[in-house]
Amino acid sequence: MKRGKKHQEASKLVERGRLYPPREAIELAKRASYASFDETVELHLQMNLDPRHADQQVRGVALLPNGLGRRVRVLVFSQGEAVRMAEEAGADYVGCDDLVKRISEEGWLDFDVAIAIPEVMGKVSKLGKTLGRRGLMPNPKSGTVVPPEDLPRAISDARRGRVEFRMDRTAIIHLPVGKVSFDEDKLFENLATLIEAILKAKPSGAKGQYIKSASLATTMGPGIRLDLKPALSLSS
């Protein structure tokens, strides 16, 4: 695919074949950013796993210390007293039957995180295919199915920069690290948190080298290969 002139110029800043320490990669990603909007800095991990095997799946949650630099829209499936609790905690959308109908019939998905109380999961589960494809399906393992009394905490976590990750069919994990406008220290702290979460989520079926390769890039910018040794030791 032919790239534009700005991308070609940005690519000249990256030394082909070189592995960059995390802090240097972050500085370079910021410098190579050329879009007119505040690009997202993204982490891409090629895993040494076979997604066809259940014991080689990677899934988890990371709570970024410096957030993601954007407003997170939170939807809560709830009923009864939990509706009031979710609304008071600042959820953007609260309900159950009305939201399930809107999503299933209209394909409405204008939210970033979906949280549910256990009592309504029987109804929400009907949306499995729709929400699952987008990574929006509430799940106890990811902390998005919680009892009513935990709704304020769950909503607060979502607002602060909660990132849910999972390996795709090509054994790659794509993760947002923050915005180009973040200073380098904040981006590095978020990156370290993400890598630590990936390491903790290592599945039982993983053998040998867990992460095959890693790269950092902005939304429009060139890829920058990360040196895995300092990345995995969270130092640079």
CATH classification at residue 53: 3.30.190.20
Query: Does residue 2 register a pLDDT over 70?
Result: no
Same domain (yes/no): 18, 91: no
Taking residues 10-33, report their average pLDDT: 92
Confirm whether 219 is domain-assigned: yes
40 and 91 fall within a common domain: no
Asked whether 87 and 152 are in contact (CB, 8 A), the reply is no
Q: At residue 236, does pLDDT exceed 70?
A: no
The pLDDT assigned to 61 comes to 86
Q: Report the CATH number that the domain containing residue 107 is assigned in CATH.
A: 3.40.50.790
Which residues does 98 contact at the CB level (< 8 Å), separation at least 6?
A: none
Confidence tier at 141 by pLDDT (50, 70, 90)? confident
Please check whether residue 64 lies inside any domain of the structure.
no
Domain boundary among 124, 141, 159: 159
**Same domain, yes or no: 31 and 84:** no
Q: Are 33 and 218 in contact (CB under 8 A)?
A: yes
CA dist list (Å): 37 to 9, 42, 95, 168, 223: 18, 15, 34, 28, 18
What pLDDT, in 10s, does the model give residues 73-103? 999 999 999 999 999 999 999 999 999 999 9
In a domain, 99, yes or no: yes
pLDDT category at 230 given cuts 50, 70, 90 is low
Same domain, 82 and 152: yes
Whether 90 and 139 share a structural domain:
yes
- For the cut 80, the answer to whether the pLDDT of residue 129 exceeds it is yes
- Provide the whole-model pTM: 0.76
User: pLDDT band at residue 58, thresholds of 50, 70 and 90?
Assistant: very high
* Top-ranked range on mean pLDDT: pick from 73-82, 132-141, 225-234: 73-82
Structural contact between residues 160 and 66, judged by C-beta atoms closer than 8 angstroms: no
Q: What is the residue-averaged pLDDT of the chain?
A: 91
What is the pLDDT, as a whole number, of residue 12? 87
117 pLDDT above the threshold of 60:
yes
Helical ranges in the chain per DSSP H: 5-11, 22-32, 81-88, 97-106, 121-124, 128-133, 151-161, 184-200, 228-233
pLDDT band at residue 130, thresholds of 50, 70 and 90? very high
Confidence check: pLDDT of 14 > 80: yes
pLDDT at 74: 96
Average pLDDT over residues 212-231: 88
User: Does 234 or 95 have the greater pLDDT score?
Assistant: 95
Same domain, 102 and 149: yes
Final residue before a domain boundary, out of 159, 176, 209 = 159
Tell me how many domains the chain contains.
2
- Whether the per-residue pLDDT at 190 is higher than 50: the answer is yes
For residue 68, being part of any structural domain is answered with no
35 plus 105 within the same structural domain:
no
On whether residue 69 sits in a domain, the answer given is no
In the three-class reduction of DSSP (H, G, I as helix; E, B as strand; rest coil), residue 64 is classed as coil
Instruction: Return the percentage of the chain with pLDDT > 70, whole number.
Output: 96
Same domain (yes/no): 155, 171: no
| Within-domain flag for 122 | yes
* Other beta carbons within 10 Å of 88: 12
Residue 63 within any structural domain of the chain: no
Write out the DSSP string of 3-41. Answer: PPHHHHHHHTTS-TTPPBPHHHHHHHHHHH---SS-PEE
Select from 136, 159, 182 the last residue of a domain: 159
- 104 shares a domain with 33: no
In a domain, 176, yes or no: yes
What confidence tens digit (pLDDT) does each residue in 158-172 have? 888 888 898 999 999
pLDDT at 231 over 50: no
Q: For 165, which DSSP code?
A: E
Please indicate, yes or no, whether residues 146 and 85 belong to a single structural domain of this protein.
yes
Domain that holds residue 134: 74-159
